Structure 1
């Protein structure tokens, strides 16, 4: 394989082969980093449009068993449904690239990321995003920003950027960020536990412990808490890493980018007259409606407002009125959150919905539970 672009970023080397695989795709790259090889393709349906208010983007991240030198086990011995890691990585790539598309983009588009060979220490979520972003940037779609990811860990009390997979197991938290040169587009974080063996005295602490056993080694969890100031500093440093990396990517990819073709963006305007009428005559009704705790109650209240307005203005189109009410409601909820720090249902930004857990709800099952959070079960 002949590689057109060779990049050295921090502690890794990335090589990109362009226009040598998937020639019929709008954009395709073959990425090699160490022993990891990923192929990413971008395909767009130029003849069809989706008449809905969303971006028709589909992202598939697929890992083949042979990428790790294995065959699928079990009786069938074939590739099966996507694993949890594949589904989560597909969502990470989707959420990172979706904001790049212009408003009103209505052509169905599919991004496929296929892991053909995997290194045990490679961060496939970062490399998968890099390959997908490169394929999108090099395609003939009108997008001029690259996106990359950075992973932050805290190992032995020290902040580490883009750690090896083996080192991440010793980290107390895992922070993944994706962004362009100017914007941070996606953040995902989880707290991890780091085990430390400590000797504690149990002989006098627990009367049920054998008196002859004066100490015992138990596993304790290290504190994985991070202060707000420290987190803000980490985010600022991560943004600097994203800026540097995306600058390198765009400078390297720009000479190879295809000339963009014109796509028709479907932008549906909201009727300003309807919005003004809703604000002037039904602001209080909307406030009462969106303050309901249950989502079903809020939907019922909005439907009642729409019927009331249709009775007042029968010449209006009900579908257009629905969009106008949703637009006004969205503005009100946004202002309420930013100005008053209050959610739509009246909760503060730090308040969670009521949670309840009921166990052993199925008598014949080995184990069962019913988890309820608000109206979600």
Structure 2
């Protein structure tokens, strides 16, 4: 019934297996990729006929985590998977980016890749398996694909590089790098690191590429056994007659546009040039208007690339390694906890930091288990930032991806929770965009954190690099414009401190680049990063010594974990009372750490006193101002602090003989008492006589072994 084909290699001490022929047989290509106990099904389907009226490749990639893969049932009312979590969105982008450039030019059939996590062992990440599976499914299908490609993750644990580290190893790793590529070259890199040097990152990429070659060969073996003939796609060649017709119009109108450094003015000139082109067409030529406009765009691309390669001149007149003018402002918003306005050329980001308590942490319900996230960075790209008008919708994949990149860049420099017990949210509002808005977010985020008084280890800056390559000639561009990204062959974003790299993202639009080009790009990026850091330090060079007066002040006190129940009280009654009376926010950890947050210092002190009163322990020899709670014939029970009382025997009330307790006190009276002993059951003996006449002997004999406080009323 099943014609199953399987190939396997050992990778990082575990078996990597690719199987086809048993599942999803009606897809054009389907494979099951297994690694350890993690299993991912990847399918590839493309429409038989091209989609009409479009000038782009309609590729969709969906990565979906199924909770059953980890033996879990989804939370919520509906009990089924709904909106994809950020991890799935980021994994979808991770699969999309290395495969998209490898489809033939002119292929316009609707194509969909779906990667479904079927099993997760909580040790081996499924995202890189999705990349391998997408390549394998496309390679054995009839869909035209210029692969195969492969991907691995590289860590740096205890001074050693590790291929496909486990999740436990990743927690200790200074590097989390995903590299994808063909047999001959690297096509994508996605990395977060703890200030590794350029050379250390390059070594990781080279190690990863060596393993990629082995996985590509594995896919070649599968294609030999199960591959289908590829569809014939007509070659897309420009019509020389159309190009000859457009060329003089582009020379007259288009060339001038690319001598204009300002984006809006340049785009206005390009609209005029295209309008002049359309007006020059005959009625018959207008039937092919899209082809003429496409020829105009092709001439524009070749013109810009020639200008850069032959003249060393860029659209805005800069040299290849020049950085646009930078302006940094901090404290721009009066009531936020920290804010910064970072402007680089025509790219501008307003970045705001908000500090919260541990109750503001984000709960992540991942396949490998639940965990809390105390640092979040959200990136927003409103349409006005590029002069457009469109509906505002939920965050796009691009916004989620750019936010995750900036978050990775800043996170390694944040203080630990014990040093700075705040939840931190950074929001970037891109106000203008002409290239590299994600790196503007990194720079603005660093400034905003320092303005908020977050004690970051060092400032962080980011820069986007570009590449123009024609045969053996190439040019690496620093701080690229939007047009240079669109017309170029690489988008290479690098973020870090003066000491090293914290985040890196590289996407290649050609077959790949050599290590030499990558090395030059990293060094040029380092020089640019140092320049940007210098400009940022003119605005603020170190974190502010104190947080904003509008931010909650968090005071951490430690209590005996056994006393937590007393602070919470039955059904949370006591903790709610403290919060309501003091208008504070209180979080209690299992280890006895109590975090009290308030913008009012007096209210914070009041809350601390209430908690200390509930959790303090009686001390032998200490004098307390107690309240008489009950009077008996043989003495009185006196509460020395909330929840704790002791017996004041009639013989300890006064140095004179006492006949009736009520002659000296009644219920509700405040009396000074001294703790004279605590027995091994926790019962406390008090003496008013010893408190009033410290030189007189009392009947106490200290604390007996194993003694503890006597609390009335049980849990409070």
Q: Same fold (TM over 0.5)?
A: yes
Gaps of 5+ in 2: 337-352, 355-426, 442-716
Q: Single out whichever of 335-344 and 59-68 deviates more from structure 2.
A: 335-344
| Aligned position for 1:258 | 227
Q: Do residues 171 (structure 1) and 173 (structure 2) align?
A: yes
Counterpart CA distance in 2 for 1:158 and 1:7 is 22
For residues 284-330 of structure 1, the C-alpha deviation after alignment (integer angstroms, 9 at most, x for no partner) is 74343134455443322111112334455556434333212211111
| Aligned position for 1:301 | 269
Please tell me the root mean square deviation across aligned C-alpha atoms, in Å. Answer: 3.4
| Aligned position for 1:160 | 162
Q: Do residues 240 (structure 1) and 240 (structure 2) align?
A: no
Match of residue 75, structure 1, among 63, 74, 77: 77
Counterpart CA distance in 1 for 2:53 and 2:279 is 28
Do the aligned residues in 2 keep the contact of 1:356 with 1:373 (CA within 8 Å)?
A: no
Deviation at 1:149, TM superposition (A): 0.4
Match of residue 321, structure 1, among 292, 311, 323: 292
Do the aligned residues in 2 keep the contact of 1:32 with 1:38 (CA within 8 Å)?
A: yes
| Aligned position for 1:23 | 25
Alignment of 1:181-200 (within 5 A): 181-190=183-192, 192-193=193-194
Q: Residue 174 of structure 2: SS of its match in structure 1? A: strand
Counterpart CA distance in 2 for 1:305 and 1:327 is 14
Q: Do residues 148 (structure 1) and 150 (structure 2) align?
A: yes
Match of residue 240, structure 2, among 248, 253, 272: 272
Deviation at 1:355, TM superposition (A): 6.9
Counterpart CA distance in 1 for 2:334 and 2:58 is 40
Q: Single out whichever of 83-92 and 234-243 deviates more from structure 2.
A: 234-243
Q: Residue 128 of structure 2: SS of its match in structure 1? A: helix
Counterpart CA distance in 1 for 2:290 and 2:15 is 53
| Aligned position for 1:351 | 323
Do the aligned residues in 2 keep the contact of 1:62 with 1:114 (CA within 8 Å)?
A: yes
| Aligned position for 1:289 | 257
| Aligned position for 2:456 | none
Counterpart CA distance in 1 for 2:261 and 2:68 is 50
Deviation at 1:112, TM superposition (A): 0.8
Provide the aligned length of Structure 1 versus Structure 2.
342
| Aligned position for 2:302 | 331
Do the aligned residues in 1 keep the contact of 2:12 with 2:164 (CA within 8 Å)?
A: no
Counterpart CA distance in 1 for 2:142 and 2:121 is 31
Q: Do residues 89 (structure 1) and 91 (structure 2) align?
A: yes
Q: Residue 74 of structure 1: SS of its match in structure 2? A: coil
Match of residue 372, structure 1, among 431, 441, 461: 431
Deviation at 1:342, TM superposition (A): 5.2
Deviation at 1:153, TM superposition (A): 2.8
Counterpart CA distance in 2 for 1:35 and 1:271 is 53
Counterpart CA distance in 1 for 2:269 and 2:134 is 43
Deviation at 1:276, TM superposition (A): 4.2
Higher RCO structure (Cα 8 Å, ≥6 apart): 1
TM-score (norm 1): 0.77
TM-score (norm 2): 0.43
**Cα pair distance change 1:114/1:359, threshold 3 Å:** farther
**Cα pair distance change 1:3/1:352, threshold 3 Å:** farther
Do the aligned residues in 2 keep the contact of 1:355 with 1:374 (CA within 8 Å)?
A: no
Do the aligned residues in 2 keep the contact of 1:361 with 1:370 (CA within 8 Å)?
A: no
| Aligned position for 2:373 | none
**Cα pair distance change 1:291/1:3, threshold 3 Å:** same
